[in-house]
Amino acid sequence: MGDDLDAKITSVPGLDSFLRRRDLPGFCRADNLANYAIQLALRSSKSLELMDSSSTHLGARRTNTGSNTYVNGPAYGNWHGLANSGRRFLWVRRPGSIVEREADLKILAQLLKITKERGFIVGWAPQEEVLAHPAIGAFLTHSGWNSTLESIAEGVPRVCLPCFLDQQVISRFVSEVWKLGCDMKDTCDRVIIENVVRTVMEVRRDEFMQSADEMKKSARESACNGGS
């Protein structure tokens, strides 16, 4: 694939003006065909072909063969950027989603201490209801497709921190095509998070809110009778 991750992709019609190598799914960077994600993609392709050719004999059942994804504990250090931004926040931290060590728990305790007046950490939240609340000014997200649709439907600008697969491409669309927020892939640390949060919430807020309102209107019109 090459070493220059900022090189433009020129072989995808319609996307050659903004899509870079770093915006492709993470397994595209692998140099070993035995890579798990590559093999999973190959198996999925063969499975879909089999289902298409055997649809009259197969039921509608689908089996989820994916595995849980874990974020390494030191990622807590990056969240100091959120604290340093000075903004109020709700952080959903799903139990078991982070592999923690003793040092990481100390970082979390420190984060809770310095943000106790303006931050709240929960294990779960009704995402659609939260995004629909007028107090929400931005959504820090991995840019999965469901989260993307929900934030578009509610007109909420985004701070994108993609991890893998379609999140890489979606986050690029958010920042460069739809102009709904900022993309932090491959360049994320506490300083960058702080600056990007300030950019979305303050510096470019009017621009992103206007784009978000337009996308929200289009999404709702599409879902109405006679829509697309």
pTM for this prediction: 0.68
Pick from 11, 35, 38: which is nearest to 46 by CA?
38
CB-CB neighbours of 220 under 10 Å: 13
**Tens digit of pLDDT for each residue in 53-80?**
544 444 444 333 334 444 444 455 567 7
The full set of domains in the chain, from first to last, is 73-223 (3.40.50.2000)
In sign, the C-alpha dihedral spanning 56, 59, 64, 65 is negative
**Tens digit of pLDDT for each residue in 95-147?**
766 666 666 677 777 777 888 888 888 889 999 999 999 999 999 998 999 99
Cα–Cα distance for residue pair 171/142, rounded to 1 Å: 8
Task: Render 1-23 in DSSP notation, one character per residue.
Answer: --S-TTSBP-SSTT-TTT-BGGG
Site of tokens 């009704």: 126
- Six token digits for residue 11: 């072989």
